[in-house]
Structure 1
Amino acid sequence: MLFHYEIERIRRDQPYTMLANHFHDHYEIYYLLSGKRNYFIQDRVYAMQEGDLVLIDKHTLHKTLDADDRPHERILINFEERWLAMKNDETYAVALSPFRPKHYIVSLSGANRTLVENLLFSLLREKQQELLGWELNSKALLTQLLIFCSRLMDHSETLDEHPQAYNPKIFEIVTYINEHFNERLTLALISEKFHISPSYFCRSFKETIGFSFVEYLNNLRIREAQRLLRETKLKVIHIAEQAGFDSVAHFGRVFKQVTSQTPLECRKMMHPGL
């Protein structure tokens, strides 16, 4: 199924944590209309308040988590770069610039919040009604939103430092895993290195990050494998080794589980001419 652009508004009255492992090759914008959420991005969990806008770059591991048991409402936009801009159109570089910094969250208030919400509601109406020219108008509205964000980020004093959720020990371990995911990593090795019991580590990691240790490690390795499939001509057996898997069979099983594709199917999709 082809994907280019999606937008949706959802209110949840019950606790909700994303079940799916989550990274992708398109851009994502998440806006919290009401309530509170915890948002795991790359190697940290951020405490979100209403009026927060999250900008997720391609191939960035992320997941939303419960902050409390109260309702929350959000707007979510996913779009591919080719939908917004023609290939090699450098004039659109500024529109995509908000996804590049490591400051993922913009906290909005007052006139800034009103402007962003008006743009988001206009985007929702365009998609719901699909009147003549809705797609072209949606591209214009989304471009306006992104340029507004890029200007906000140009003035760092307008950005609040976002509070991070608890458990610095787990984040220390996450940072280590991010740097050594392609090496031999086991529960026993992590427990010994960081002087933490395996049971406590497994429980705290899942509670803090929203992934189990194995899920998180596999996601990092598969993301690296996808990069190698996209950017190199290495054989699958060598990609499996460089991504940290101990066998090509195990690599193939995990790759299919995470991406719903085999490595060769993924490479053919990325490089149709091969």
Structure 2
Amino acid sequence: MLEHIRLTYGQEEEDFFFEQIHRSQPFSRNNHHHSTFEIYYLLSGQRRYFIKDRTFDVHAGDLVFIDRHDVHKTSDLGPPGHERIVMNFSEIFLTGGVEHPLVPPAIFEVFRGGGHLLRLRPDERNFYQSLLDKLSREIAHQEPGWNSYVRLLLVELLLYAARQTERNDAAAMESVHPVHKKVAEVVQHINGHYGEPLELTAIAAAFYMSPSYLSRSFRKVTGFTLMEYIHFTRIHAAQKLLRDTGLKVIDVASAVGFENIGHFDRIFKRITKMTPKAYRNLNA
């Protein structure tokens, strides 16, 4: 039986979401991404975490920071069963949509770059555990002013983490499994060459893998088929061009690797649930 605390707060896409849950059975989450920041704290057990283009082995007491829109997926590492806390929040949840003296932009740097994972010393773990316990109590009881206190605790957590990231060697915590390292290289290749023709057989040959082995390994590690990930990466890049430039839709499609505008329209709508033109109008 699952025992957990769960709260979704706000009108936009999960302005603030908090969940603490214990699982005793094997569990693997499919890939997903969202427009909010995410903090993941593992209380017990072990997990494997694919984030953007890297795979980390996460142990009890580790903190994971995931930037907005970064693809991520968790899976079992070692014996099944784990307990974790997940928080998602939007920037507007902390700032109210205005520049706020208590929320310096630097605190969001903990989500960016190649860090992602913060391995805590025992004294640091006690500090973070205390903050998370306070967050849990505020959310469980929801006394007057609880949401303001949650914001303050979250800012404190982020400020403390931002100070520690410089001494953190996240590379040393990446998975050493050869398949995970090879898939990470393939993902990095796609991220850097999505505007060019990308085919399974050519990618497999470039990385000295058979097409079938690459397909199986890629899906197991990332949760995507290879083509799904190529489409996702291209559409993500197209969204940025539609938001930030005045390029015609046909030129956006070409820039991100689609040779056929009809194919681009279909894939864009499948992933975003709207047409490229509607997306541009919404984000004008």
Distance across 2 between alignment mates of 1:122 and 1:51: 17
Q: Does residue 161 of structure 1 match 2:168?
A: no
How has the CA–CA distance of structure 1 residues 110 and 181 changed in structure 2, closer, same or farther, with 3 Å as cutoff?
same
Q: Secondary structure at the match of 2:151?
A: helix
* Equivalent position of 2:164 in the other structure: 152
* Structure 1 contact 152–158 (Cα < 8 Å) conserved: no
Give per-residue Cα distances to partners, 1:83-110, cap 9 Å, x unaligned. 1114344752132221233211001131
Offset of residue 72 of structure 1: 1.3
How has the CA–CA distance of structure 1 residues 196 and 100 changed in structure 2, closer, same or farther, with 3 Å as cutoff?
closer
Offset of residue 226 of structure 1: 1.8
Distance across 1 between alignment mates of 2:280 and 2:264: 15
* Structure 2 contact 52–70 (Cα < 8 Å) conserved: yes
Runs of at least 5 residues in structure 1 that lack an aligned partner in the other structure: none
Offset of residue 222 of structure 1: 1.7
Cα RMSD for the two superposed structures: 2.2
* Structure 1 contact 183–244 (Cα < 8 Å) conserved: yes
* Structure 1 contact 38–47 (Cα < 8 Å) conserved: yes
Q: Secondary structure at the match of 2:60?
A: coil
Offset of residue 158 of structure 1: 8.1
* Equivalent position of 2:151 in the other structure: 139
Q: Secondary structure at the match of 2:173?
A: coil
Runs of at least 5 residues in structure 2 that lack an aligned partner in the other structure: 1-10
* Structure 1 contact 65–210 (Cα < 8 Å) conserved: no
* Equivalent position of 2:4 in the other structure: none
* Equivalent position of 1:171 in the other structure: 184
Offset of residue 47 of structure 1: 0.8
* Equivalent position of 1:238 in the other structure: 251
How has the CA–CA distance of structure 1 residues 158 and 179 changed in structure 2, closer, same or farther, with 3 Å as cutoff?
closer
* Structure 1 contact 23–61 (Cα < 8 Å) conserved: yes
Offset of residue 140 of structure 1: 0.3
Q: Does residue 214 of structure 1 match 2:227?
A: yes
Give per-residue Cα distances to partners, 1:47-101, cap 9 Å, x unaligned. 1111111111123222212224511111111111111114344752132221233
TM-score, normalised via structure 2 length:
0.86
Give per-residue Cα distances to partners, 1:191-213, cap 9 Å, x unaligned. 23233211111112222333221
Give per-residue Cα distances to partners, 1:244-263, cap 9 Å, x unaligned. 22323222322233233333
Q: Secondary structure at the match of 1:161?
A: helix
* Equivalent position of 1:76 in the other structure: 86
- Structure 1 counterpart of 2:207, from 175, 185, 194: 194
* Equivalent position of 1:9 in the other structure: 20
Distance across 2 between alignment mates of 1:160 and 1:196: 25
* Equivalent position of 2:195 in the other structure: 182
* Structure 1 contact 52–107 (Cα < 8 Å) conserved: yes
| Structure with bigger RCO (C-alpha 8 Å, 6+ apart) | 1
1:33 maps to a residue whose letter is: L
Q: Secondary structure at the match of 2:251?
A: helix
TM-score, normalised via structure 1 length:
0.89
